[in-house]
Structure 1
Amino acid sequence: MTILWMLLPAIAWGVLPLLVSRLGGRPINQIFGTAIGTLIVSIIGQVILHPTINLTAFLMAAVAGAFWIIGQLGQYIGYANVGVSKTMPISTGLQLVGTALVGVCLFGEWATTAAKVIGVIGIVLLVVGVIMTSLHDRQEQAGDNQTRTIIMLVLTTIGFIVFNAIPKALSASGIAIFLPESIGMVVAVLVYMLSRGQLKIMRERVSWLNVLGGLVFSIASLTYIVSVSQNGVNTAFVVSQLSVVISTLGGLLFLHERKSHRELILTLSGLGLVVIGAIVTTLV
């Protein structure tokens, strides 16, 4: 059962990009549905488990949820622009690098010289892996679009980094912060929709279909919390990063995203480096 809890987050987070891509709609439809689905699950969890949380932690968790929307919206835009199989390795690698650096700078991780050396090696592997997955043959056709998408992912990944960092500063359990995080997500989505003049998407069927995305995300988040309690933070986190393998290969196999032979080799090799880099940076 321990192994199952360890694998479920990776499976669910790996399936999420494939699911929302299949459900369709624009990124704004997808992010709205995902946020609403997450809120529904968090309310059910609150009613059943009754976790407690103080006001300060509640507000910080809500802010974390709002920043998650920035990162996830960036991913959804990436899926639409360059595909799941290209977006996920880049986004995951950037998250791992950013989260590792925040851990070192703000939380004093990698305290010893040996840990710093090993950690830097892990980050280098991550960066090289991300670069390899972003290389392509059709420079004249896809170059500008991909460059813009990579820049967008770099900027929006800040949202994921903040989302991952805030819970480390809180003493509340993962279950307790799940509801305020989801409330922050919904508020952020509504603000985004209002700023874009897109409140009408709440009347679109595809927006509500994407609630399934929120249910899958919630499964990943809740099982990850259980995995951390049973397997420890490092093991749970490293295994959860296998989601990038599932989503990348799923994009190629199930969404029929095309790559040349050279691009495929570079993507798979880069993917391997991202996974190895994740293991190195979280086990130092």
Structure 2
Amino acid sequence: MKYLYLFIPAIGWGLMPLVIASVKKSTVYNQIVGTVAASFIFGALVMLIMHPAISWSLFLLSALGGALWVVGQVGQYISYARIGVSETMPISTGLQLIGVPLVGVIAFGEWATNQAKVWGFLGILVLIVGVVFTSLTDKGTAEGNKNNQVSTIILLVLTTLGYVASSSIPKALHGSGVSIFFGQTVGMLVAVFVYTLVTGNIKSWTEKATFQSGLAGVLYSVAALAYILSVQANGVNMAFVISQLCVVISTLGGLIFLHEKKTQKGLIFTILGLVLIIAGAVMTTLF
């Protein structure tokens, strides 16, 4: 069973962008509200079933992590519409794979040995090259519009900081994974409500496209819970590396099922970038 837990996060997080992008006539508000509302319901049900202990400090810090996750997810959803899933996911994933280990080294003293530091920073260098390759495009494709791409990459860099902070906060927490996940979903729900209120999009909570986007929230929740169980059963390093295979599923899925177009040159850059991102992930976590 522990090996099944390894691959569920990659499958769930890999399919999630494809589900969101396939919902017709949906806005970023429909997408984020649907995802978060479904995640909260899932988290609440698991909490009721398992009854784990939870303290106020654990809950509040977890909620903060969930709110920051919304920042990263909104950036991703906006990017899907601008440059497509097949370009957004490698860049976003690569940036997270660079940021999270760096926070671990600076804030939590990870990579304690010299060997770990050498392999870790070499892995980050490989990741950077991989991200650059996946962002290389040429004329003839939708994402080849230079102005559109540059502004979207800047958006991804800034909003991915939310992902990095959200992924790093749980490292400082000691408690049940289910409790942490539930706290995150509460923070996500509050953040999305504020986001839709401030932007004047409260009506998105009741729109059809929002309910259709709920499947993405279910996929996210199942993957997140399976990841927690995988960490407990297989260890952090192996669970983390295998979960990053989601970028392969979402990127290739965008090209095959969403019919996102790339020229032959752009496709070669993307595939080479994916290989480098996965290689860099392995180097920063296993060595």
TM-score range relative to shorter protein: over 0.9
How far did residue 2 of structure 1 move?
2.3
How far did residue 273 of structure 1 move?
0.2
How far did residue 114 of structure 1 move?
1.6
Query: Which of 154, 157, 168 lines up with 2:157 in the alignment?
Result: 154
How far did residue 141 of structure 1 move?
5.7
When the two structures are superposed, what TM-score results if normalisation uses the length of structure 1?
A: 0.98
SS in 2 for 1:256: coil
SS in 2 for 1:15: helix
Cα distance in 2 for residues equivalent to 1:58 and 1:222: 17
The structure 1 segments of at least 4 consecutive aligned residues displaced by more than 3 Å after TM superposition are none
Would you say 1:206 and 2:209 are equivalent positions? yes
Cα distance in 2 for residues equivalent to 1:95 and 1:160: 7
Q: 2:243 is matched with which residue?
A: 240
Q: 1:135 is matched with which residue?
A: 136
Cα distance in 1 for residues equivalent to 2:273 and 2:168: 26
- The answer as to whether partners of 2:23 and 2:213 remain within 8 angstroms in 1 is yes
- Mark the runs of 5 or more structure 2 residues left unpaired by the alignment: none
Cα distance in 1 for residues equivalent to 2:206 and 2:236: 41
Would you say 1:258 and 2:258 are equivalent positions? no
Cα distance in 1 for residues equivalent to 2:40 and 2:32: 12
Encode CA deviations 1:22-43: one digit per residue, 9 max, x unaligned: 1231111100000000001011
Cα distance in 2 for residues equivalent to 1:123 and 1:42: 33
RMSD: 1.1
- The answer as to whether partners of 2:137 and 2:144 remain within 8 angstroms in 1 is no
Q: 1:185 is matched with which residue?
A: 188
Aligned residue identity for 2:276:
L
Would you say 1:6 and 2:3 are equivalent positions? no
SS in 2 for 1:223: helix
- The answer as to whether partners of 2:138 and 2:144 remain within 8 angstroms in 1 is no
Which runs of structure 2 are paired with 1:58-207 in the superposition (5 Å)?
Answer: 58-138=59-139, 142-207=145-210
Task: Report sequence identity in percent.
Answer: 52
Judged with a 3 Å threshold, the aligned counterparts in structure 2 of structure 1 residues 141 and 227 are, in CA distance, closer, same or farther, namely: closer
Aligned residue identity for 2:202:
L
Encode CA deviations 1:83-126: one digit per residue, 9 max, x unaligned: 00000000000001000110010000111222111111100010
Cα distance in 2 for residues equivalent to 1:68 and 1:174: 17
Aligned residue identity for 1:117:
V
- The answer as to whether partners of 2:10 and 2:246 remain within 8 angstroms in 1 is yes
**How many residues get paired?**
284
How far did residue 68 of structure 1 move?
0.3
Cα distance in 2 for residues equivalent to 1:211 and 1:169: 30
Q: 2:219 is matched with which residue?
A: 216
How far did residue 203 of structure 1 move?
2.4
Deviates more, 1:132-141 or 1:230-239: 132-141
Q: 1:46 is matched with which residue?
A: 47
Aligned residue identity for 1:32:
V
When the two structures are superposed, what TM-score results if normalisation uses the length of structure 2?
A: 0.97
How far did residue 230 of structure 1 move?
1.0
Deviates more, 1:224-233 or 1:270-279: 224-233
Would you say 1:29 and 2:30 are equivalent positions? yes
SS in 1 for 2:62: helix
Aligned residue identity for 2:15:
V
Judged with a 3 Å threshold, the aligned counterparts in structure 2 of structure 1 residues 141 and 162 are, in CA distance, closer, same or farther, namely: closer
